[in-house]
Structure 1
Amino acid sequence: MTDDLLFAPGVTFIEVRCWECSHTVMMKPNEVPEGITAHQFEKRAVCECGTGWPQITKYPKKKPTSM
């Protein structure tokens, strides 16, 4: 179940964006606990504005499987 990991193999960094104020932070694997899932991170994450609903984009993004 590596797709649920925040930093699955091949993910070099993540972009965490606040839905409320659009504050954006880039994070690398060494900045979060090893083995944390995206769900666990979302439950813990709180923006400077107080909102706790981050949008997470993983890079490099998965390549499309359809043509």
Structure 2
Amino acid sequence: MSFHAAPPQRWRKSTRCGASTTCVEVAGHDDGIVSVRDGAADDTCLEFAPGEWRRFVAAARRGAFDLH
């Protein structure tokens, strides 16, 4: 993970979240870094290198984090 001096300008959240403020939000930087934060506590965020982010998304799509 890396850390940027300035926060991203545009955060996005899933359309499934609706009007809720408790969803996870993501934002991309020009250099490919992806920031992730909790919409309810937006004072901190995690940042991932492009390869790290792609591996996380692929694992999520495979269901690796599903709670069955």
- Compute the TM-score of the two structures, normalised by the length of structure 1: 0.27
Query: Greater share of helix residues, 1 or 2?
Result: 2
Query: Greater share of strand residues, 1 or 2?
Result: 2
Structure with more relative contact order (C-alpha pairs < 8 Å, separation 6 or more) = 1
- Compute the TM-score of the two structures, normalised by the length of structure 2: 0.26
